[in-house]
Amino acid sequence: MNGEDIWTGRLGLQVDEGAEKNFSAGFDLSGDVERGNLTLYNPLGNVLAKLQWSPGVATLDSPDQKLESDSLSALVIQLTGNDLPIQALFGWLRGVDVKVTGWTADLSRIDTGRLTATRFSPQPGAVLRIVLNR
């Protein structure tokens, strides 16, 4: 994948259903919505999970489980219980204000590597925060 986009940093997902739904990790992300890789790390730098996707298949490989789905969006729902705007996320990371029903993205600090996206509908609300390494 020549010329692919690559992002590294930290992400946090806070869901208004209680602390058990919250998640944070370091990450390395490469590719786009069609084809890519995401590796998640704990604070000590150990791999929590690796996700890979291409047209028609998305897989998760972690020490605790292995999952497969027909798309990255479906796999994210299976993992988090939340329908995150995956396609828009790639636009937001590039600084493009992609509109998604029920979500608002604050890209005012994307030049400094900070992105916040808030889901207000459907409930429960959720906040996705990303801080990119620069």
Q: CATH number of the domain at 97, please.
A: 2.50.20.10
As for how many domains the chain has, the answer is: 1
* 88-104 pLDDT per residue, tens: 999 999 999 999 999 99
**19-53 pLDDT tens trace:** 667 889 999 999 999 999 999 999 999 999 999 99
Q: Is residue 127 part of a domain?
A: yes
Q: What residues make up the domain containing 37?
A: 6-132
What does DSSP say about strands 57-61 and 103-106: parallel, antiparallel, or unpaired?
unpaired
CA distances from 68 to 29, 47, 60, 74, 105 (A): 18, 18, 6, 9, 29
The answer to whether position 120 is within a domain reads yes
3-state secondary structure of 85: coil
Half-sphere exposure at residue 1, Cβ-oriented, CA atoms within 13 angstroms: 11
What share of the chain in percent tops pLDDT 70? 96
Q: Is residue 1 domain-resident?
A: no
Using 50, 70 and 90 to split pLDDT, how confident is the model at 72? very high
Of residues 76 and 116, which shows the higher confidence score?
116
d(CA 114, CA 4): 20
For the entire predicted model, the pTM comes to 0.88
Say if 128 falls within a structural domain.
yes
What is the predicted pLDDT for the residue at 18?
A: 66
Going by the DSSP 8-state scheme, the letter that residue 107 receives in this structure is -
Lowest mean pLDDT of 2-6, 62-66, 130-134, name the range. 2-6
- Whether residue 52 is contained in a domain is answered as yes
75 is a domain residue:
yes
Q: Is residue 91 part of a domain?
A: yes
Hey, CA dihedral for 61, 65, 66, 68, is it positive or negative?
Answer: negative
DSSP alpha helix (H) spans, 39-85:
72-80
